[in-house]
Chains A and B, each alone.
Chain A
Amino acid sequence: MESARTRARVTTAVIYIILIIMAFIMLVPFAWMILTALKTNQEAISVSPFYILPHNGWHWETFGEVWKSYNFVLLYKNTLLMIFFRVVCACLTATMAGYAFGRLNFPGKNFLFSLVLIQMMIPSTIFIIPQYLMVSKLGWLNTTAGLVFPGIVTAFGTYLLKTGYQGLPKDLEEAAGIDGCNIGQRFLRIMMPLTRSSMVSLGIFTALFAFKDLMWPMIVCSSVTTTTLAAGLAKAQGQFSSNYPQMMAAAVLAVVPMIVIYVIFQKQFVEGIATSGGKL
């Protein structure tokens, strides 16, 4: 009895130790980023393992220098606008398309849905050239509309919402029909509110992908006034190529909004992952 209890304690302790090591490994890059931002350039490029912490004082002023060099207020604004509109557009179009594919019957439904699935199987980089040509012809280069353009429709979202709608009982829709609801009312008032968790998942994934999107903002926004945090940071790579503390300070400032959003929506993030079975 005693040995079984001891074995259980040892097992728990081993699991905890492994988890602590894993958590530590996960945190090292973040800690390194923040500590490098607070060092002098000389310390930052030193390969000595004893230079983990700054030796010549904590240089908080680096953040101020980077803030001044880059218009972070503008970068935050552009990024948040892009994320917001991509989330709104993705949720709107995916919920309507998902409802149509999941609940309605119309000629060519399976063929059209297979087109959606094919789009999911093709690497997104293939779409960059035609999308750029379209945005260019529309005159949307260097605009928020141009940034949002590839996120207006989402094959993944359509698939996710279709699955969500298919999982709802048919009786609900039939009962609404008997009560006099037309197709629009059934969709808006009965079915759509029931897929809220799927829409939250989609919103989270869309927001994350939009935040991480580097290539598209770099292509469509050559102007610093309309570019996003990721693209602005990539440009800093050249501007501060020899100044690693400034590069790291810019990186820290760039991840701040996402950390704040994560802290606020932590519950929804976890639920979203559980609902969609996806990974961040």
Chain B
Amino acid sequence: MWAKTEKEKIAGIPSARKKVIYIWEYYKLWIIGIVFVLWFGTFAYHQYTTVLHDYWCYMIFANTYADLGDHSKLWEDYTEYAGFDLNEKAVVFNASSYFDYLKGVTGNSYFEAFVAFADSGTLDGITMGTESLAALGETGRLMDLESEACASIAAKYSDRFVYCDAVREDGETVHAAVGIDISDSRLVTEYEGYAEPCALGIAALSDNVESVELFLDFILTEDDSRLVRSE
């Protein structure tokens, strides 16, 4: 009824210019709204379809001010070494994280972020001071490196394991390997990530243990062998 009346009214307007003026005057909010919704729909769809939803490897380098983030030299060297197809999945190096479980994390948003990454299965590995990492292992958010999933890592790096006393759900205290000592690694010597002893832990829900193993190989092996891998 309303549409019919409006059509008749517009048809009764003598010139095309006046018709346009009439439509704009009375319906500009609707026109702007529809254009905006269409634009945002297209924009959101394009963004959703072009963004990479999966990760080859998601690492957190906690408590460091060194340039270890995305597109840093470390990131570029590692992605080259691993030979990842970055059009398929992303490699994320997050170097903006500052928390220490030993000193308390109440109200620390970076720790909240770590929990979010770890509990959603996004996080693969984390590096920080050795003692801090051992304390973090007590939360149960780091993988037991003596488990089956880490057999390959254990075979290579068991002499570097960092242990903690974690309390299991049944109340029993277990001595679990939660980190790998990387104090003498290239991460420290070449990329100057840490000044104190540090270690790397693997997130308990990580699906990319192989990528973390590659990272360990990359920072703990000699220069020559690195180049062989990327070829």
Partner of B92, one of A85, A143, A215, A222: A222
Question: Residues of A at under 8 Å CB distance from B?
Answer: 85, 125, 128-129, 132-133, 136, 139-145, 214-215, 218-219, 222-224, 226, 231, 234-235, 237-239, 241
Contact: A219 with B53, CB < 8 Å? no
CB of B121, distance to nearest CB on chain A (Å): 8
Question: Given known contacts A132-B116, A238-B68, what 11 new A-B pairs fall within 8 Å (CB)?
Answer: A125-B109, A125-B112, A128-B112, A128-B113, A129-B112, A133-B119, A141-B53, A141-B122, A143-B48, A222-B70, A235-B69
27 contacts between A and B (CB under 8 A): A128-B112, A129-B112, A129-B116, A132-B113, A132-B116, A133-B116, A133-B120, A139-B53, A140-B48, A142-B51, A142-B52, A144-B47, A215-B110, A215-B112, A219-B113, A219-B117, A222-B58, A222-B70, A224-B71, A235-B95, A237-B96, A238-B64, A238-B65, A238-B69, A238-B96, A239-B67, A241-B66
CB of A116, distance to nearest CB on chain B (Å): 23
Contact: B107 with A125, CB < 8 Å? yes
Decide if B35 is an interface residue (CB 8 Å cutoff).
Answer: no
CB of A197, distance to nearest CB on chain B (Å): 20
CB of A200, distance to nearest CB on chain B (Å): 18
Partner of A132, one of B44, B94, B120: B120
Report the bound CA distance from A215 to B95 in whole Å.
Answer: 14
Report the bound CA distance from A238 to B73 in whole Å.
Answer: 13
What 0/1 readout, one digit per residue, does chain B (186-225) give for beta carbons within 8 Å of chain A?
Answer: 0000000000000000000000000000000000000000
- Inter-chain contacts of A128 with B (CB < 8 A): 109, 112-113, 116
Report the bound CA distance from A125 to B99 in whole Å.
Answer: 15
Report the bound CA distance from A141 to B47 in whole Å.
Answer: 10
Contact: A239 with B69, CB < 8 Å? yes
Contact: B113 with A215, CB < 8 Å? yes
Residue of A nearest to B47 (CB): A143
Contact: A218 with B113, CB < 8 Å? yes
- Inter-chain contacts of B71 with A (CB < 8 A): 224
Report the bound CA distance from A141 to B55 in whole Å.
Answer: 11
CB of A107, distance to nearest CB on chain B (Å): 33
8 Å CB contacts to A: which residues of B45-102? Answer: 47-48, 51-53, 58, 64-71, 90, 92, 94-96
Residue of B nearest to A239 (CB): B67
Contact: A144 with B92, CB < 8 Å? no
Contact: B43 with A144, CB < 8 Å? yes
Residue of B nearest to A241 (CB): B65
Report the bound CA distance from A238 to B65 in whole Å.
Answer: 5
Report the bound CA distance from A163 to B95 in whole Å.
Answer: 44
Report the bound CA distance from A223 to B50 in whole Å.
Answer: 13
Report the bound CA distance from A237 to B63 in whole Å.
Answer: 12
Contact: A129 with B65, CB < 8 Å? no
Contact: B65 with A237, CB < 8 Å? yes
Decide if B13 is an interface residue (CB 8 Å cutoff).
Answer: no
CB of A244, distance to nearest CB on chain B (Å): 12
CB of B7, distance to nearest CB on chain A (Å): 23
Decide if B20 is an interface residue (CB 8 Å cutoff).
Answer: no
- Inter-chain contacts of B96 with A (CB < 8 A): 218, 231, 234-235, 237-238
Contact: B48 with A215, CB < 8 Å? no
- Inter-chain contacts of B109 with A (CB < 8 A): 125, 128, 214-215
Contact: A222 with B48, CB < 8 Å? no
Residue of B nearest to A136 (CB): B120
6 cross-chain pairs, A with B, having the tightest CB-CB distances, nearest first: A132-B116, A241-B65, A215-B109, A222-B92, A129-B116, A136-B120
Contacts A128-B116, A129-B119, A215-B112; A145 near B70 (Cβ below 8 A)? no
Contact: B90 with A222, CB < 8 Å? yes
Report the bound CA distance from A274 to B94 in whole Å.
Answer: 41
CB of A89, distance to nearest CB on chain B (Å): 11
Contact: A238 with B66, CB < 8 Å? yes
- Inter-chain contacts of A235 with B (CB < 8 A): 69, 95-96
- Inter-chain contacts of B43 with A (CB < 8 A): 144
Contact: B70 with A224, CB < 8 Å? yes
Decide if B227 is an interface residue (CB 8 Å cutoff).
Answer: no
Decide if B32 is an interface residue (CB 8 Å cutoff).
Answer: no
- Inter-chain contacts of A214 with B (CB < 8 A): 109
Report the bound CA distance from A183 to B96 in whole Å.
Answer: 50
CB of B39, distance to nearest CB on chain A (Å): 11
Report the bound CA distance from A214 to B69 in whole Å.
Answer: 17
Contact: B68 with A145, CB < 8 Å? no
- Inter-chain contacts of A241 with B (CB < 8 A): 65-67
